[in-house]
Amino acid sequence: MDIVFIEDLRIETVIGIYDWERQIRQVVALDLEMAFDNRKPAASDEIVDTLDYKAVSKRLIAFVEAAHYELVETLAEECARIVREEFGVAWLRLRLAKPGAVRGSKAVGVVIERGSKPD
């Protein structure tokens, strides 16, 4: 199995359960690992044959910037759904971190895996 990844994609959004959090934009950081067979793009050297990480990033940036969720769990699920449905990704691991959300920690968040992991 090959992996296409996006690391530390930082996006501002409205996220949180407290009233003050609903009034500001906070940064979330996304890490994605997406299963993709890279043999075809390696042979063709053509972008159309790839899982275009720039297109995935742009789509997630647009979605997350416009989102207004209370829970990181909900935002993570929606991001995973978009990647799987719109980009045909069979399996992904997504880490969504909320830097500075808990005093004394670098970040808090969730890691989810969705889909069937190819061999």
Indicate which residue of 54, 58, 98, 117 is catalytic.
98
Q: For residue 119, what pLDDT is reported?
A: 74
Confidence of residue 102 (pLDDT cuts 50, 70, 90): confident
Q: What is the 3-state secondary structure (H, E, C) of 50-80?
A: CCCHHHHHHHHHHHHHHCEECCHHHHHHHHH
Where does residue 43 rank: exposed (0-12), middle (13-18), buried (19+ CB within 10 A)? exposed
Looking at domain 3-115, its CATH architecture is 2-Layer Sandwich (3.30)
- Could you confirm whether 98 is annotated as catalytic? yes
Return all residues near 20 (Cβ < 8 A) that are at least 6 apart: none
Q: pLDDT confidence of 118, banded at 50, 70, 90?
A: confident
Average pLDDT over residues 88-107: 93
The domain ranges of the chain are: 3-115
Q: What is the pTM of this model?
A: 0.93
Write down the pLDDT at residue 94: 98
Using one digit for the tens of pLDDT, what is the confidence trace for 3-31?
Answer: 999 999 999 999 999 999 999 999 999 99
The overall average pLDDT reported for the chain is 95
Residue 1 clears pLDDT 90, i.e. is over it: no
Query: Is pLDDT of 50 > 90?
Result: yes
pLDDT band, very low/low/confident/very high, at 77 (cuts 50, 70, 90): very high
